[in-house]
Amino acid sequence: KNEVEQSPQNLTAQEGEFITINCSYSVGISALHWLQQHPGGGIVSLFMLSSGKKKHGRLIATINIQEKHSSLHITASHPRDSAVYICAAHSGSARQLTFGSGTQLTVLP
């Protein structure tokens, strides 16, 4: 069983819809990352959070440490949001990331 589980694996939405991607982890963490990967392969860090909630533009990330669960929300989704979204747990003294398998998001115009 993967230590970081994401759902759903694939998500198709219409432009303007509110989107939620979920991440559950079983390891103790010091921080959790949400990353965005476009088809070219490069990965961009969206958020790093260890408690509460962070917001950047139309993106919101929340984390519940007690429940070991995090969510990424996208408000007013747009086709340019189409990408793979990956959550990754930061744990251990070696500062390593354990990655989920990603959620492929497609936003249709």
Partner 1 sequence: EAGVAQSPRYKIIEKRQSVAFWCNPISGHATLYWYQQILGQGPKLLIQFQNNGVVDDSQLPKDRFSAERLKGVDSTLKIQPAKLEDSAVYLCASSLLRGPPYEQYFGPGTRLTVT
Residues in contact with partner 1 by the rule CB under 8 A: 4, 30-31, 33, 35, 40-45, 48, 86, 88, 90, 94-97, 99-102
Q: Which is nearer to partner 1, 33 or 83 (CB)?
A: 33
For 66-107, the DSSP string reads: TTTEEEEEESS--GGG-EEEEEEEEETTTTEEEE---EEEEE
How does DSSP classify residue 51? Answer: S
Q: Which is nearer to partner 1, 17 or 48 (CB)?
A: 48
Cβ of residue 17: shortest distance to partner 1, in angstroms? 24
Cβ of residue 14: shortest distance to partner 1, in angstroms? 24
Cβ of residue 15: shortest distance to partner 1, in angstroms? 25
Cβ of residue 24: shortest distance to partner 1, in angstroms? 14
Q: Which is nearer to partner 1, 13 or 99 (CB)?
A: 99
Residue 8: both structure tokens together: 């759903």
Alpha carbons within 13 angstroms on the beta-carbon side of residue 65 total 10
Q: Which is nearer to partner 1, 12 or 45 (CB)?
A: 45
Partners of 56 in beta bridges = 59
Largest interatomic CA distance in the chain: 44
Residue 26: both structure tokens together: 């079983």
